[in-house]
Structure 1
Amino acid sequence: MPDSALVEHLRRAVGTEAVRTDANELDARSHDTWPVATVWAKLGRHPHRPDVVVHADSVERVVATVRTAGEHRTPVTPWGLGSSVTGQPLPVRGGIVLDLSGLVGEPSLNEIDHTVTVPAGVRGSDLEAWLDRRGYTLNHSPQSLARSTVGGWLATRATGQFSSRYGGIEDLVVGYQVVLADGTVAQVEQRPRAAMGPDLRAVFLGSEGTLGVITAVTLKIFSRPPHRSLEAFTLPSVSAGLTVMRTIGQTGLRPSLVRFYDATEARHAVPDGPHGSPVLFLGHEGVGDVARAEHAASAEVVRSAGGVSLGAEPVDAWMARRYDFSTIERRLAEPGGYAETIEVANLWSRLEPMYHDLRRELTPLAEETLGHFSHIYDQGSSLYLILLGRAEDDQTALSRLEEIWARAMKVVVAHHGEVSHHHGGGLARQPWVAQSLAGGHEILRRIKDALDPGHLLNPGKLGLDPE
């Protein structure tokens, strides 16, 4: 049962209508879209259930909630739209779930500086549609665009499908407003670059609500590109595809789209195409002559590695369905069905060996193990694995998901890779946080102690338990 004194204090502080304690509301906030949490829900389990939910539609309500939580020494876990796939918004110590999905409002557009400012609860697809009507785009396109909030992108250090050209959210954010654990409202911004101290924008990016609650965001915007070139290619091997990606990245070409599917996932990416070969999706956009020239140069790199063009149609088809998550959802809805997505990253020199080891370890745990590489950098790339399987019952499916995570993280750590590229840590990666951050984890711990000495903001995440 929730602390009646806490609930009464919250009602006085933020209004009775904003405070919820009914069982359905609390159950709903104990599951995000992490497949493990989905199976928990199927089994009727709610291991991370809040005591109370507060719906905040203003910064004032956010401030009042965190101050009340501090007075009662009660944990506060920020919640956007619950689309995390690794358990970031699950309240592992109970307490208050602070629902920020009502923190919305009309965007503020600055066409001279090419920025837009919005409350943190604005849905990504709503903001993109608003900008599109005015001839602009965010060029931030996570698969969860219609399921995630702008504030959530910052809190989880998200990236999108065109990041090879435009970067992740850390490259696209100009500034933001954040409420600290004691209720202080702080503004963090850059104009447009500074050499005065460290870049404080980075402090809260990827912090998963453990250091503060992001309440408003200013992002870069871009004019709609006048030209886009898209093309798919088959390649003879994974090794050849990785060489192509590395060469394109290190040559200084700036493709907007680079997605390289191994032969298993290529069957899904190009269902009507030739099977048995890896497939590369490649795209360039911008001013017509420049985009065409860059695409021609990249295509020559592909052809020199044995690539054969399939034309633009496979990429056009993917562009039309690229936000579709239904394959995972349908499998998880089946009795005993399980599915998982694991995205990691590594340097070019370590990427292929890590890929082969992951496939060897994970293939026995699923009916299908699919892999693709994207989000290229000069020094490396991400690797995205999708596992689909069926077990005799949901409890066995849950055990299988837990084993998938344990095996995958063990391999990535052994190859000195990044255990998360863009889904964040949450609960899924909690056992490996300190190992992944190495010496940096002590710095993070000291920042946490300074900003949230009571360890009340989203406890149990990023390896920041007070003990």
Structure 2
Amino acid sequence: MTTDTSLTKNDPTFQELLQQLAIVVSPERVSAADDVLDGRSHDTWPVATTWAKLGRHPHRPDLVVWAQSEAEVVAVLRLASQAGVPVTPWALGSSVTGQPLPLAGGVVLDVSGLTGDPELDPVDGIVTAPAGVRGSDLEAWLGERGLTLRHSPQSLARSSIGGWVATRATGQFSSRYGGIEELVVGYRVVLADGTTAEVGESPRAAMGPSLKQLFIGSEGTLGVITQVSLKVFELPALEIREAFAFPDVVHALTAMRQGTQRGLRPHVMRLYDADEARHAAPDAPVGQAVLFLGHEGISEVASAEHAAFKDLLVQASGVSLGSAPVDAWMGRRYDFSTVENLLATPGGYAETIEVANSWSRIEPMYRALREALSPLADEVLGHFSHVYHDGVSLYVILLGRAIDDETALERLEQIWIRAMEVVIAHGGEVSHHHGGGLARAPWARQSLGSGFELLERLKDALDPQGLLNPGKLGLAAPASV
């Protein structure tokens, strides 16, 4: 699957590719300028942010191309395929795991210009838009029409709808509405050789395996998403919010599991351990875990569901703290400043690692992660959210200050190694919603087990030269450009 892609800017092949790309997308949307290439060698992964602070660009493209239509994406991929040059898709660069960083150099294909007016089907409850549309822009457009996506990642204003599909994203309301794999109806994708395909199910299909799922979470390794169709919902008539204090996470996890397995579907359910509760609910009793609970929808149904879930929480030793803690979180739920401000200080470092496991294994894995990571940071915080019938996600936040940025980088690298080793040892999922990128690539084979060979076969079939976003998901990369 690998191919030799080595060339230099003085190489005739490079110059020919540059000229051809300038023809298909226009000269001002092709660049090999140093500042542009540097800018596409860092996303918002804290490791990459620290590389930038240290003036390092270990994963740097040779060209950046800005596409503004599917036809231009097709043309770029065809030219790159003919030249044997890697292509790494880039949308808004909000990845926190290094997904859009060009491991093998080559072309970074910026698809953030794939924008335009959405198309709404009010009868079927579907909106269709180009893949580069910003999530917050689409949500605002729908809000003017009394509708909502109910897909609400923290990066809503920093991420594109195509990026959501490519990274198998989920949002803060997923416990009720599901992740992007359940919210997406269909999409268009361009393969490595420039072939286009449209996949989807309306409303469900039994003709073969679900091709809709094939590219969801593929991180640009199998194709480039150009258009997305998503479910939309009416704005809820009622929203109920309430926080509860618990003596420990075990009591609360039990109640969360019971309510979920009995079919109750809150749109918000977040359990903070005692350490993170100090930040999330500073007025709550010291040393206690805090759970945020919210229900929404038709008034009578939301009220009944909330009352039923509240009974379970009270029976599990939960004590109501009222709505104020949840209201405050709703007002700041898109705020990245704590992590960003710390990363901006000399020697400051921060990391957010989200994983998942079954109900029976999540608490032992949580304890093991805290024990393994505590020596590497000043604070290790944890919360549980995104519930499922058989398990729940765990979000671990690490905050620290080192003597200098070099030491901070070493800490971040150690954090990833220890965290992934613990999760695999406990049979957990190494990623819940941030995807693999560079951060998790070394553990992809262990995580996927025998399924990894299937992924390799898919890659060989759809991208035989291995040119699309090489090196991600643990897949082999061609030689660097």
Task: Give the AA of the match of 2:38.
Answer: D
Counterpart in the other structure of 2:271:
260
2:364 aligns with one of 349, 353, 357: 353
Counterpart in the other structure of 2:122:
111
Following TM superposition, by how much is the alpha carbon of 1:198 offset from its aligned partner in structure 2, in angstroms? Answer: 0.5
1:298 aligns with one of 309, 313, 322: 309
2:86 aligns with one of 65, 75, 82: 75
Match of 2:93, SS?
coil
Cα distance between partner residues in 2 of 1:310 and 1:466? 52
Counterpart in the other structure of 1:281:
292
1:122 aligns with one of 124, 133, 148: 133
Match of 1:432, SS?
helix
2:76 aligns with one of 40, 65, 74: 65
The two structures have a TM-score, normalised by structure 2, of 0.96
Match of 2:64, SS?
strand
* Cα-to-partner distance string for 1:73-96 (whole Å, 9 max, x where unaligned): 000000010000000000010000
Counterpart in the other structure of 1:154:
165
1:371 aligns with one of 370, 374, 382: 382
Cα distance between partner residues in 1 of 2:141 and 2:330? 20
Following TM superposition, by how much is the alpha carbon of 1:466 offset from its aligned partner in structure 2, in angstroms? Answer: 5.3
Question: Once superposed, which parts of structure 1, at least 4 consecutive aligned residues long, lie more than 4 Å away?
Answer: none
Task: Give the AA of the match of 2:74.
Answer: V
Cα distance between partner residues in 1 of 2:84 and 2:143? 44
Following TM superposition, by how much is the alpha carbon of 1:435 offset from its aligned partner in structure 2, in angstroms? Answer: 0.5
Cα distance between partner residues in 2 of 1:251 and 1:38? 43
* Cα-to-partner distance string for 1:381-422 (whole Å, 9 max, x where unaligned): 000000000000000000000000000000000001000000
- Please list, as runs of the form range in 1=range in 2, the aligned pairs for 1:21-420 lying within 5 A after superposition: 21-420=32-431
Counterpart in the other structure of 2:4:
none
Task: Give the AA of the match of 1:395.
Answer: E
Following TM superposition, by how much is the alpha carbon of 1:445 offset from its aligned partner in structure 2, in angstroms? Answer: 0.6
Task: Give the AA of the match of 1:300.
Answer: D
Cα distance between partner residues in 1 of 2:66 and 2:283? 47
Cα distance between partner residues in 1 of 2:112 and 2:443? 30
Cα distance between partner residues in 1 of 2:222 and 2:60? 21
Cα distance between partner residues in 1 of 2:56 and 2:28? 28
Cα distance between partner residues in 2 of 1:430 and 1:399? 18
Following TM superposition, by how much is the alpha carbon of 1:5 offset from its aligned partner in structure 2, in angstroms? Answer: 1.9
Cα distance between partner residues in 1 of 2:320 and 2:406? 45
Cα distance between partner residues in 1 of 2:97 and 2:166? 13
Match of 2:346, SS?
coil
Following TM superposition, by how much is the alpha carbon of 1:21 offset from its aligned partner in structure 2, in angstroms? Answer: 1.2
What is the aligned-residue identity percentage?
Answer: 67
Cα distance between partner residues in 2 of 1:190 and 1:253? 26
Number of residues of Structure 1 aligned to a counterpart in Structure 2: 467
Cα distance between partner residues in 2 of 1:13 and 1:124? 28
The gaps in structure 2 that reach 5 residues or longer are 1-7
Cα distance between partner residues in 1 of 2:286 and 2:120? 47
Cα distance between partner residues in 2 of 1:463 and 1:320? 38
User: RMSD across aligned C-alpha pairs, in angstroms?
Assistant: 0.8
Following TM superposition, by how much is the alpha carbon of 1:273 offset from its aligned partner in structure 2, in angstroms? Answer: 2.6
Counterpart in the other structure of 2:433:
422
Following TM superposition, by how much is the alpha carbon of 1:20 offset from its aligned partner in structure 2, in angstroms? Answer: 1.1
